[in-house]
Amino acid sequence: MKVLVADDDLGSRLVAKAAVEQSGHECIVAADGDAAWQLYKQHQPNAVVTDLMMPGLDGLSLCRAIRAEERDTYTYLVLVTSQDSRDDVLAGMDAGADDYVTKPLDPFTLHTRLLVALRVTSLHADLARYRLALTKQARTDPLTQLYNRLRLAEDLEGLHSRSERYEWDYSVAMCDVDNFKSFNDIYGHQAGDAALRTVAEALSRQVRQRDGVYRFGGEEFLLVLPNQSWTAARIVVERARAAVESLGIPHSGNSSGVLTISAGISAYVAEHRVGSERLLNEADAALYEAKAAGRNRAELSEAVRHIALGR
């Protein structure tokens, strides 16, 4: 465990440092509150042992600053005071301290506080990992391991806001596996699930790291392409379409004899600054046009086609 000791009294600092290190922990020391705050931000210690009264930030202010800074971590705060009064203890707890000790500092007493600190911070670290795992799970499609619609809503809102602010382009492409119902009827749902996983992997390989691939629902996937106009998006989508076809997954219900996808593309560009929900609807409509035109192809949305034709 990493422990920060903050005290303007040299003797108290030395006693605290020796007690921390004898307890088997790493110790960082600061001679005033301002230095302690900088060291906290630099090292992110697991525990802080701080004097109540010291130059710069006092112990109460340091506790408040640390609690305001914390996000997914938890720092155990021990307040050290020579004024053993109920008011000081209550003020410290109100400022965010977890415990307190009085001067002159007793190494054994500090050792026991650090045992508690280790247990508490370990528990908080475990909880943070669990929260992170649950957050990821809630935003990941369990079958394909792609992001799901919840993550899409979050990502697309952020992308659209940035693009609107800085006048950046971006494109979206709605992709759908052709004749997937008949694929499931012919080969079974287990084969259908395996095919969706394979298609998801193929799509992911065709985009940049900054791009997004989402399972939109059923056999539908959505590509979100930041900083790409419709011309660049069409190249990416055509590459993705060809990659899926080249997998050669047998599909006797398709005219090509293999599994394929169709796609519809829309774009947020200078001539077409519309909302993200409208872009999704336009891409979906273009997808249906691709289906009607024979499948295994990509179509631009009507609005983007007008831009392409200079209308």
Residues annotated as catalytic are 219
- H/E stretch holding 77 reads strand 76-81
Measured on CA atoms in the order 79, 81, 84, 90, is the torsion positive or negative? Answer: negative
* Alpha-carbon radius of gyration of the chain: 29
Distance CA 7, CA 22 (A): 19
* 207, 170 contact by CB (below 8 A): no
State which amino acid sits at residue 30. A
Distance CA 127, CA 122 (A): 9
**Dihedral pair phi/psi, residue 188, rounded to 5°:** 95, 160
Distance CA 117, CA 12 (A): 20
Q: Which residues contact 120 (CB under 8 A, 6 or more apart)?
A: 74, 76, 98
Nearest to 261 by CA among 174, 146, 173, 176: 176
Distance CA 285, CA 281 (A): 6
> How would you label 139-174 residue by residue, b for 16+ Cβ within 10 Å and e otherwise?
bbbeebebbbeebbeebbeebbeebeeeeebbbbbb
* 7, 80 contact by CB (below 8 A): yes
State which amino acid sits at residue 47. A
